[in-house]
Amino acid sequence: MSRRADQSERLERALDGGPIPHDEETRRMLAAAGALRPGYRRSPARVRATKEAMLRAYEHAQNPLKTRDDAGTDDGLDEPEIHREEMDLPGGGHLVLTDIEAITPERAEKTAARIARILQSSEERDRLS
């Protein structure tokens, strides 16, 4: 038997899970064969799920949903009512409160007082600098 045939046989046995040969040349061939083999296996479940998702996306692109003529009516998503309250601040300022919730007089007064305090402390800091 020739040397090349012997190496080939040893390589085949090693690739089939047999004992690993000790000669350097066959080890290099084994390393090269290992480098050519993918390091991971694709999960059949993930391949199937990906294929199904691609087919669903293709089906959706080919047959888009039909729009209704009455879409957006009575679906509870109407534009909310915007509440607005205008107030004069001490010192000549003007405050406009807007909210989707009702603005009570107490809430408006409390907000106006808070804004007035902020403006007053800001003016005092400006005078000191």
Q: What is the pLDDT of residues 47-97, one digit of tens each?
A: 899 999 999 998 988 888 787 776 666 666 667 788 999 988 877 788 899
112 Cβ neighbours under 8 A, 6+ residues apart = 87, 89, 95
Question: Rounded to 10 degrees, what is the CA torsion of 121, 124, 128, 129?
Answer: 70
> Does 25 map to a domain?
yes
pLDDT at 1 over 60: no
> Does 32 map to a domain?
yes
If you average pLDDT over every residue of the chain, what do you get?
79
Type and span of the H or E element at 83:
strand 83-88
> Does 49 map to a domain?
no
> Does 41 map to a domain?
no
The domain containing residue 98 runs over which residues?
Answer: 83-128
This prediction has a pTM of 0.37
Structure tokens at 36: 């050519």
> If DSSP codes are grouped into helix, strand and coil, which group holds residue 20?
coil
Average pLDDT, integer, range 29-36: 75
> Does 87 map to a domain?
yes
Farthest-apart Cα atoms in the chain, separation: 109
The CB density around residue 115, as the number of other CB atoms within 10 Å, is 16
Count of the separate structural domains present in the chain: 2
> Does 47 map to a domain?
no
> Does 78 map to a domain?
no
> Does 73 map to a domain?
no
